[in-house]
Amino acid sequence: MGFLPSFLLRRLVSTEFDLAGVVVDGNGTDLKEGDEVFGWIPLNQNLSTGQGALSQYTRLPAVNVVLRPKNVTPTEASGFTVAGLTAYQALFDLAKLEAGQSVFVNGGSTAVGSFAIQIAKAKGARVAASASAKNEQYVRGLGADEFFDYTKAPLHEQLLAANVTPKYDVFYETVGILDPALFVHSPAYLAPKGIFLSVGPQGSGIGNIASFAWNVLLRPAFLGGVKREWKLVAVKPVPEDLKGFAKFVEEGKVRPVVDSVHAFEDALKAYERILTKRATGKVVVRVDPTAA
């Protein structure tokens, strides 16, 4: 922190984006004092305003929250928005998912994947998903029709052996894997007009990054490049999408997925839990200890 310019130190008053809470001042918008809402501080508003979700009061544009459906508590709704929109926008805005299509969710127990499974099922799609064996019941409980344990053997090998018919229309990689194998082999299980979506490959090693860049982004088809569309998902503040997601919740088609709840004083434990990469659903910090 000592290296940060002082203007940054002054502005970084709080962190995090997802929230649920009560409006104290609608400031002339459609929102009024006492409205119970959930939503987010869009990522591009963080440093410019210094506002974050991990605080007692925060300030954000009214279009980035919606009224909280009565069938979920603030604690449950607090983790909806970033992961929920990342799932919603990938399936609808990018993949144009339709009823009757089939979707593979790599990482069915990630927060993003947990919402993607439920949203795809709500739309009437067939869903297959991966996780480790201990999460099979969780992933099936979200609606997955088929399950793959990625710890048994490399997932692309399992998918090649499965002789997937019909092939998936959407392959949604929600873990953030840098290894391009799932994409490279995808013509065997992703339909020719299907789309491969990724939340953003993460990892290190110049060789791994080069292999990803070559195989996924650069290699042309005449040099053996994969003849499938690959797209990066980048969550955006689209109020209509937030309303669409909230409607699924209201209708009971998307339910909350809370991995654990931590007191405000224990916020660091919440980060530790996320860093284990083993969370199933959202890790919540309860700023107001009396909140439901």
Ligand X SMILES: *[C@@H]1O[C@H](CO)[C@@H](O)[C@H](O)[C@H]1NC(C)=O
Q: Does 77 bind ligand NAP (CB under 6 A)?
A: no
Query: Residue 23 CB: number of other CB atoms within 10 A?
Result: 17
Written as one string, the DSSP assignment of 98-114 is -TT-EEEEE-TTSHHHH
Exposed e or buried b per residue across 181-209, where buried means at least 16 C-beta atoms within 10 angstroms of its C-beta? ebbbbbeebbbeebbbbbbebeeeeeeee
- 64, interface contact from ligand NAP, ligand X, none, CB < 5-8 Å by kind: none
Q: Tell the smallest beta-carbon distance from residue 223 to ligand NAP (Å).
A: 28
Contact 180, 171 (CB under 8 A): no
Q: Does 131 bind ligand NAP (CB under 6 A)?
A: yes
Nearest CB to ligand NAP, comparing residues 82 and 287: 82
- 174, interface contact from ligand NAP, ligand X, none, CB < 5-8 Å by kind: ligand NAP
Q: Tell the smallest beta-carbon distance from residue 42 to ligand X (Å).
A: 9
- 86, interface contact from ligand X, ligand NAP, none, CB < 5-8 Å by kind: ligand NAP
- 234, interface contact from ligand X, ligand NAP, none, CB < 5-8 Å by kind: ligand NAP
Comparing C-alpha atoms, which of 248, 254, 283 is closest to residue 269?
Answer: 283
Contact characters 34-73, ligand X, x per CB under 6 A: ---------xxxxxx----------x--------------
The structure tokens listed for 102 are: 């089939």
